[in-house]
Structure 1
Amino acid sequence: MQAVLDVGANDGSWGLNIAQQNPHIKVYGFEPTPRMCEIIRGKVSELSIANYELIPVAVSDYEGVVKFNVAGQADWGCSSLLTFSDDLDQTWPGRTDFKVTETIDVQCITLEKFVKERGISDIEFLHTDVQGVDLKVMASLGDSIQMVKRGMLETASSKSVALYKGQHTIEDVVMFLLRNGFEIERMTPNDVHCNEVNVLYKKIWA
């Protein structure tokens, strides 16, 4: 089965748009934040999208119940399994939404187990926006990473401006992608300070 995976779905906008445009492909949206899950369910019902499924869990390279830091401000897009870095007022001036408003317990899964359970044979696109653990999400595929044809992830430009403690950087991303048979198509700044970059990549076919 072909599938698109949207890990860190937030309010579902990206994945639902893909599902609407590609009714023949199953789209899975992974999102652990209860408030965002409510919003996604409402949109799915309103739009009557049959090929989209919400998976209300976190994703990383391990399984179990974990602490999840909810940043319930602005678009709620900064919630993470990681904790915020120090001195963000200096590296991210003007941003007041980098605050944890609640810490909750959530279920965490790996993608390797998920794709096997769902019988997924091809991942047409892997979209990850999981606030600092994108590479762990990719690594959680294990050998199934070979299923990924294209994808996009978010990364810190450098450790000195990383939004989260322990977050991967562009150097880590480049090495990981090359080691796993991908090439980078494009890198685009994700903020006015160029502290984060969106990386579009694709599989190198032999």
Structure 2
Amino acid sequence: MALDPVLWDVLDKGNAQPTLVDIGASGGCPEPWRLLAPRSTYVAFDPDRREFGEGTGDGFKRSFVIPYAVVGAEGRDRVTLNLTHNPFCSSTLEPDMAVLSDYSFWPFFRVERTVECPAITLDAVWAKYGLDAMDWLKVDSQGTDLAILQGLGTRIDDVIACELEPGFLPFYKGESVFRDIDAFMAEQGFWLAHLDIQTAVRFRPETQKQVFGDSHCLNDPVFGSSPVAPEALYFRPLRYFRERGDKTRLYVKAWSFAVVRGKLGFAMDLARDFFDAGDDRELARYMMDICKTIVVQKKAAAT
């Protein structure tokens, strides 16, 4: 079964047009979002344009590609951006070399120059671009994830899914680390749906050079990798959808998000819960049947 047209059909039947907000969009949007693109609005932010591809936003029903830094607090129209050797490490925070120096990847964070760039809060984005929702929010801000989320205020209540990439250690001065952000997300009523772990070699370059000279790659896994940052996905629980209005669109959006991320058990729970709500039982049955078909096909392919 081709997944794309089936997802689009469910979204159409539920009159649901997801809004996907990507903070730290260097390298392109998350791949699962491509499955939703023709029915979705994509809002991409990244002030470091060095890895901002020409086609960023292509394929979406609507797209906004905005070279702004997203900040947590109002009152700052411009901020200083530290452009690092690796564009994916650029941040409005200063890299903390005292922490980074223990790791082989520290040269990625070397600041090559600083620039002034325009800044905006997510709350202001909501009004400026006429968004009616921020259904799926991805924040990869290099150290300011928690401040950005807190800057949403009560608008965070409208976020269905959220992806975050904080560090386990504060690699930037003033960074909020994973344990702080995970506690905040739990307080806001989210549950942790997925966790991938980024790793790096903890091996000081001066030790490597003293022992091996220039004959070894610092990131060679033979030296042993250690966890440095999670890629965390959070979803709203079932009770969130039961307690809100406009249930059909919310259930359909959440279901589509769960399907594209492979969380088929939760997707089926959403469909069953939607069926019990009674707003559109025919659509709910269709959503459950799709999940069942995907599961059967996956099991068959694995044998």
The reply on whether 1:9 has 2:17 as its aligned counterpart is no
Q: 2:47 aligns with which of 19, 28, 32?
A: 32
- List per-residue Cα deviations over 1:144-199 (Å, max 9, x = no partner): 11110001101121xxx321111111221122112212121122212242111111
User: How do 1:159-170 and structure 2 match up within 5 A?
Assistant: 161-170=169-178
Change (3 A) 1:72 1:194: same
| CA–CA distance in structure 2, aligned partners of residues 124 and 79 of structure 1 | 26
- The equivalent position to 1:150 in structure 2, one of 157, 161, 169, is 161
- Count of equivalent residues: 195
Separation in structure 1 between the aligned mates of residue 38 and residue 71 of structure 2, nearest angstrom: 28
Cα distance between partner residues in 2 of 1:110 and 1:51: 21
1:121 alignment partner in structure 2 = 132
In the alignment, is residue 187 of structure 1 matched against residue 195 of structure 2?
A: yes
Distance 1:50 1:2 in 2: 10
Structure 1 unaligned spans of 5+: none
Provide the rounded CA distance (Å) in 2 between the counterparts of 1:20 and 1:186.
19
Shift of 1:16: 7.7
Higher strand share: 1
Identity %: 24
Which of 40, 43, 64 aligns to 2:55? It is: 43
Residue number among 146, 151, 175 corresponding to 1:140 in the alignment: 151
Q: Given residue 34 of structure 1, which amino acid in structure 2 is its aligned partner? A: R
What corresponds to 2:179 in structure 1?
171
1:20 positional shift? 6.2
Larger RCO (alpha carbons 8 Å, 6+ apart): 1
Tell me whether 1:198 sits opposite 2:206 in the alignment.
no
Larger-gyration structure (1/2) = 2
Runs of 4+ in 1 over 4 A off after TM superposition: 47-50
User: Aligned equivalents of 2:106 and 2:183: distance in 1?
Assistant: 30
Q: Secondary structure at the match of 2:233?
A: strand
Tell me how far apart the structure 2 counterparts of residues 72 and 20 of structure 1 sit (CA, whole Å).
32
Q: In the alignment, what sits opposite 2:265?
A: none
**Is 1:72 matched with 2:89?**
no
Q: Aligned partners of 2:160, 2:78: CA distance in 1, in Å?
A: 30
Q: CA deviation at 1:102?
A: 1.1
Contact 2:20/2:135, CA 8 A, preserved across alignment: yes
Alignment of 1:82-101 (within 5 A): 82-87=93-98, 88-90=100-102, 92-101=103-112
TM-align CA RMSD: 2.2
Q: Taking structure 1 as reference, are residues 52 and 58 closer, same or farther at Cα in structure 2, changes over 3 Å only? A: same
SS in 2 for 1:96: helix
TM-score by length of 2: 0.59
Cα deviation for residue 49 of structure 1 reads 5.3
Task: Give the structure-1-normalised TM-score.
Answer: 0.85
Q: Distance in 2 between matches of 1:21 and 1:145?
A: 22
**Relative to structure 1, is the Cα distance of residues 175 and 94 closer, same or farther in structure 2, using a 3 angstrom cutoff?**
closer
CA distance in 2, matches of 1:22, 1:66: 31
The 8 Å contact of residues 42 and 60 in structure 2, kept in 1 or not, is answered as no
Q: Distance in 2 between matches of 1:162 and 1:128?
A: 16
Unaligned runs of 5+ in 2: 1-16, 201-225, 244-303
**For residue 221 of structure 2, what is the aligned residue in structure 1?**
none
On the 8 A contact 2:97/2:106 being kept in 1, the answer is no
1:118 CA displacement: 2.7
